[in-house]
Amino acid sequence: MNASSLQDVSALIEDAWRADGTRPLNDHLWLDLRDGGRAGFAGIIAREEGRSHIVGYCQVSRGNESWAIDLIVHPHYRYDSLEIAPEMMTTALEIVATEGGGHVHWWVFEPSRAHKQIAEAVGLQPGRRLLQMRRALPLEPEVLAEIADFYTEPFQPERDAQQWLDLNNAAFARHPEQGGWTMDTLRSRMQQDWFDASGFRVHRRQEMMASFCWTKMHHDNSTTMGEIYVIAVQPDLGGQGLGRKTAIAGLDAAFLKGAEQAMLYVDADNASAVAMYSSLGFSVHHEEHSFVGNIAAEKATS
C-alpha cells in the first residue's frame, strides 16, 4: 500500500461511510491500514479503467490466532457485488493460503442475502454473532448510588500495564481478538488519538487489579458516544457484582467526558455479559456477523 493507494482507499471508505451511515473497516483493521500493516497484512484493490475512484477494497490482517478479512465495494458497484466481491475475496484467501493458512473471519455489518451468497461462493460459513448494544446516558441516580462506596482510578501505564495484560488475557483466554494481547498491542492502543486514561477505570484490591472498564469516546456521529471498549473482572472474582459496578464507573466516566449515548459490542453467546448489560438498561441496536473458514496452507507459486 503506497501513499496513493492509501488515499484511494480512504476515499472509498468515505464514500461507503456516507452511503451506509457506518464506517467500514473495524477498529483493528483500520489501525492496520493506517499504520502500514503488521506482518501478514495485505490490501487488495479492484479498479476499473477510466474511473477515478476504486471499485473495491479487501484487507487481510493476521491476528494472534486467526486472519481477519474486510471487504468494501464502492456504493456505485453494489449491483455487481456478487461478481466483484468473490473475486477479491478469493485473492485474499489465496494470500492467506500462501502465508501459511489458518482460521479466517470476515465481519459484516447487518448481513444481507448478498453477504451470505458471497461467503458461500468462497466457502466461508456463518461464525460469530456480535451485538451492538446501546443506552442513553446519564445513568439513573439509583444506579449511580450503587457505586457510592466503590473506588476506581484512571489507568496508570507504569503501574498497571502488566497487571492489565495478565487480567485481560486471563479473562479473554478463549476470545479470538481480545485474548493474547502483548505489551506492543496495548502500547499501540495507548498511542491512538482517542486514548484517554481518565475513561479507563481500574478497580484495585490489595494492590492488584481486580477489574477494569476501558471506555472510548466517539465524536464522529451526531451524538457523542461512549463505548465500553473492553471490560473484565479477575476470573476468580466473577459473579460478585464487580463487573456491574465497574461498568457503572466506566459509563459515568464516559458521561462526564460528554457521552450522550453508551455503546458496546458483545458476543451474542456471552450470556453473563449480555445479562449484565441488559440489567443496566442496554438494548440491542444491531447485529454484526462473521463468516469463517479454515484455509489450508499452500506453497507460493511465484
Q: Interface with ligand COA includes 171 (CB under 6 A)?
A: yes
At its nearest, how many Å lie between ligand COA and the CB of residue 155?
16
Residue 57: Cβ-neighbour burial (10 angstroms; 0-12, 13-18, 19+): buried
How far is it, in rounded angstroms, from Cα 268 to Cα 128? 8
Q: How many residues bind ligand COA (CB under 6 A)?
A: 20
Q: Which of residues 29-88 bind ligand COA (CB under 6 A)?
A: none
Q: Is 242 a residue that touches ligand COA (CB under 6 A)?
A: yes
Compute the least distance from the CB of residue 135 to ligand COA, in Å: 14
Q: Find the shortest distance in angstroms from Cβ 270 to ligand COA.
A: 5
Taken in order 166, 171, 172, 173, the sign of the CA dihedral is positive
Site string for ligand COA, 113-152 (x = CB under 6 A): ----------------------------------------
Report the chain's terminal Cα–Cα distance, integer Å: 20
Cβ proximity to ligand COA, 137 vs 266, nearer residue = 266
Q: Which stretch binds ligand COA (CB under 6 A): 2-10, 152-160, 188-196, 240-248?
A: 240-248
User: For the window 255-294, what string marks contact with ligand COA as x by the rule CB under 6 A?
Assistant: -----------x---xxxx-xx--x---------------
Helix and strand totals (H; E) in the chain: 9, 11
Q: Which of 4, 176, 236, 20 is nearest to 109 (CA)?
A: 20
d(CA 216, CA 149): 24
